[in-house]
């Protein structure tokens, strides 16, 4: 029996047109780009995001131009604690003054629901006891009558007490407005590290 040499050799596949090869490469790149963008949006929305400090209200803790990482995960499991530095969307009373919902503020949590907050004689008092505040720029030069923090609200203040648009001016912050907790400064390099 004779073997036909044409049948014993596999047929060579025709090369793909250049346009098909180009499209396959670009399709891979586009898929990777879409996945990366989706992951970035997910992380920024639910995990952490960078923020920039535009004002002096948190001096000396935070300076103008500081860049921070604001983490969001911890507040899914527990509520903000006294002393936390929180980033938040302006509450309704600030939006009525012209601030946009996208304009984030950053302040320190001073009062929790049920706390009685008062400012007198250059000190902040919580439930009648003077607060220990090693982080402030200077003692407050104003007074504020005793006020009870309502349920689901926070009382927040800037560390630069005499140059801060905070709860002593506009009232309480709804917990639902809290975006996250400022936890880490990544710029400038010489101040790189945790934010306390």
pLDDT at 45: 66
Pinpoint the alpha helices (H) of the chain. 5-8, 18-46, 74-77, 92-95, 167-170
The pTM of this model reads 0.79
> Residue ranges of the domains in the chain?
17-46, 50-194
Scored b (16 or more CB within 10 A) or e, 84-112 reads bbbbbbbbeebeeeebeeeebbbbbbbbb
74-125 pLDDT, tens digit each: 898 888 999 999 999 999 999 998 999 888 999 999 999 999 999 999 999 9
pLDDT at 33: 80
Strand partners, 50: 69
d(CA 134, CA 142): 18
Structure confidence at residue 9 as a pLDDT band (50, 70, 90): low
Structure confidence at residue 27 as a pLDDT band (50, 70, 90): confident
30-74 pLDDT, tens digit each: 877 887 777 666 666 666 789 989 999 999 999 999 999 999 998
What one-character-per-residue DSSP string does 82-137 give?
Answer: TT-EEEEPPPHHHHTTT--TT--EEEEEEE-TT-EEEEETTEEEETTEE---TT-S
Q: CATH: 3.90.79.10, 3.30.420.40, 1.10.357.10, 2.10.109.10. Which one for 50-194?
A: 2.10.109.10
Which position has the token pair 């209200």? 57
Q: Residue 104's closest CA among 151, 70, 59?
A: 70
Q: Residue 112's closest CA among 149, 83, 158, 85?
A: 149
Catalytically active residues, by annotation: 57, 107
């Amino acid at each position: 029996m004779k073997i036909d040499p044409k049948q014993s050799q596999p047929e060579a596949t025709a090369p793909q047109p250049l346009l098909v090869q180009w499209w396959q490469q670009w399709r891979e790149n586009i898929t990777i780009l879409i996945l990366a963008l989706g992951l970035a949006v997910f992380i920024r929305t639910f995990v952490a995001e960078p923020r920039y400090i535009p004002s002096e209200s948190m001096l000396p803790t935070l300076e103008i131009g500081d860049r921070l990482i604001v983490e969001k995960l911890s507040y899914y499991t527990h509520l903000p604690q006294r002393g936390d530095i929180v980033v938040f969307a302006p509450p309704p009373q600030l939006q009525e003054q012209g601030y946009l919902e996208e304009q984030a503020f950053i302040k320190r949590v001073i009062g929790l629901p049920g706390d009685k907050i008062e400012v007198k004689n250059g000190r902040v008092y919580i439930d009648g006891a003077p607060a220990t505040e090693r982080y402030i720029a200077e003692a407050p030069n104003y007074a504020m009558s005793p006020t009870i923090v309502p349920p689901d609200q926070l009382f927040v203040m800037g560390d630069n007490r005499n140059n801060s648009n905070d709860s002593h001016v506009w009232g309480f912050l709804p917990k639902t407005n809290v975006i996250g907790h400022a936890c880490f400064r990544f710029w400038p390099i010489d101040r790189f590290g945790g934010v306390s």
